[in-house]
Chains A and B, each alone.
Chain A
Amino acid sequence: MAGTTTPPAVGMEEYVEPTWGSKLAYVWRLLWRDKGGLLGMILFLLMVITAVFAPIIAPHDPLEQNLRDSKLPPAWYEGGNWDYPLGTDRLGKDIFSRIVYGTRVSLTVAVFGVLIAGGLGLLAGLVAGFMGGKVDGAIMAGVNLWLAIPYLVFVVVIASILGRSLFNVILIFGITDSPIFARVTRGEVLRIRQSGYVESAISVGASTSRIMFDHILPNLIGPLITLATFEMSAMIFYEAGLSSWAERAAHWCQLGQHGRSLPSILAKLPWMVIYPGLAIAIASLAMNLLGDWLRDVLDPRLRRSRA
């Protein structure tokens, strides 16, 4: 096609609505260019598949106790067998199945937690950034107050007051994490409002709602998705920490001893800790790689600095 037709003037090319196929191909090209992002995406998709098809993938019920098969090592060790690929705990629960179902819990908490945090934060940040003045001052004072209480202390204390059901944990993460979203949203709104295109839109008489929905919201999506990915990673490991921490606390409470039992568990049943820990670390790695990649792709200002 070289030289056969004269190219149209810049900006006058006919606009073709991109098809889903071409969009996907574009995302694939972006992923292929950044191998870290590719790895993150693959691991994330694996997590989603594991969570969705947990009953098919897991060989056992995660709560099923098989006292006859308790304390088995992983399959490739002496005494292990492939019925329990990663071994069993003291009550004979299958570690692998527990990880598979745990992925479900982790992802549920992370996705819904981030949706709540993002929704609340977006709303507060939009109002603060748009109204300015006293409303902005009041909202940001609230945000700063929320951030003054250490996140983890907050989560642990509220969980101990309200109870640690799945619903409560999601709600606690969602609410305690929302100030970060509010702060980022407000900052972005203020930045975008200063930009030339919003000024132009105002000067040609665009309504406030039009500026909000056509100009500001689309530009918020990039930074918020990136933030959401990192916050999901944080929620996954705080949730894991919270549940194992609370479980251990309850266990120690029964035994009336503190801390001394952990090394003996680690000495006798190391696989109880190694593989779940590895699963959490991989989940966290996936979300971090994905977040890095999204930040680069969605924010063109950053693209060159990583090239």
Chain B
Amino acid sequence: MQRYLLSRLVQSFLLLLGVLIVVFFMIRLTGDPVSLMVPKEAPAEVREAFREANGFNRPLYAQFFEYLLNAFQLDLGHSLKFRQSNLSIIMERLPSTVYLATISLFLAIVIAVPIGIIGGFNPGSAADTVGRAFGLFGQTIPGFVFALYLILIFAVRLGWLPSFGRDFWYSVILPATALSIGGIGQFVRLTRSAVLEIRNEDYIRTARSKGLSKMAIGARHVARNAALALISVVTVQYSYMLGGSIYIESIFAWPGLGNLLQGAIVDRDFPLIQALAIVFSFFVVTLNLLTDVIYAVIDPRIRYGS
């Protein structure tokens, strides 16, 4: 197991290195990063001064190695607009995004898993039909459309909940609901099909023939094996919620990283955009690694495998 984990760790590290390289060249896609960051109307002296100050006049490989060296020292450059280090700005906003994504994930699991389990145990029943329709709705409706409808109903018409910002404890309710809807759809379908599949396994028949109660079989055998199938999807969904909340955060003016990215794009603050792209990718790579670790710990097939 140690060897397996070590190889995963090395892979994740290489992946992060690759991300750093891609992001570096992404900003230089148009050839000249200065033309991206300085308005076209600016006089030539201003452009050249900017080029000089930010080191864009040096050879590409020198820029690249300095960028890598800095990144390894957790220096992700400085924001053009905020005039401070990107990492400190990101760290300031990070808790809001993690808070929103975590609540959304929790909401999705709490709502979707019971629906999926009930459907899986009673396929074809009325409850299953309703559950599947709900799952299809969740999978189908785009999060940002759902977000706008939520605002329209609960903020504008009923006036129950705030539609933007994070000023009250209940401000999180609408954005979290909007962000969780896609996950709900996915989890309902996956839980249902996992339970359906496991129900037909030999070890369930054995358990039943030994006279175990339905509850005992459900809790001990079905739930644990279904959880195994769910974990990888849950972590992928979590990384999606952390990184994919851009639209949702913008709609609700939620003071997190997605909103920061929108502001940075409006202001053409490319050093900050670059840093944000790295941080978002870092979430994905870390969560993938975490998934592998969880599987290594709980799945005996990997635990005892080579």
Contacts and interface: CB of A to CB of B under 8 A. Distances in A.
Contacts of B273: 157, 160
B55 interface: no
Nearest to A158: B26
B89 interface: no
Contacts of B80: none
A117 B165 CA distance: 37
A187 interface: no
A145 B246 contact: no
B277 interface: yes
Given A157-B273, A160-B265, A281-B145, A262 B151 contact: yes
Given A263-B151, A270-B152, A270-B156, A149 B246 contact: no
A248 interface: yes
A104 B165 CA distance: 35
A149 B156 contact: no
Interface in A132-187: 141, 144-145, 147-154, 156-158, 160-162
A245 B152 CA distance: 17
A252 B250 CA distance: 11
Majority secondary structure of chain B interface residues (helix, strand, loop or mixed): helix
Nearest to A146: B22
Given A160-B273, A281-B141, A153 B280 contact: yes
Contact of B253 (A144, A253, A260, A278): A260
A104 B192 CA distance: 36
Contacts of B149: 274, 277
Interface string B162-206: 011100000000000000000000000000010010000000000
B95 interface: no
Given A259-B250, A266-B151, A145 B164 contact: no
B147 to A, nearest CB: 9
A262 B147 CA distance: 12
Contacts of B151: 262-263, 266
Interface residues of A, number: 47
Nearest to A160: B265
A259 B253 contact: yes
Interface string A255-269: 000111011001100
- 4 tightest CB-CB pairs across the interface, nearest first? A259-B253, A150-B243, A237-B142, A277-B145
Interface of B: 14-16, 18-19, 22-23, 26-27, 29-30, 36, 136, 139-142, 144-145, 148-149, 151-152, 155-156, 163-165, 193, 196, 239-240, 243-244, 246-247, 250-253, 259, 261-263, 265-266, 268, 273, 276-277, 280-281, 283-285, 288
Given A150-B243, A150-B280, A267-B156, 15 more contacts: A148-B18, A148-B288, A149-B23, A154-B277, A245-B144, A245-B246, A245-B262, A249-B262, A249-B265, A252-B266, A253-B266, A259-B164, A266-B151, A270-B156, A280-B142
Interface of A: 141, 144-145, 147-154, 156-158, 160-162, 233, 237, 240-241, 244-245, 248-250, 252-253, 258-260, 262-263, 266-267, 270, 273-274, 277-278, 280-281, 284-285, 288-289, 305
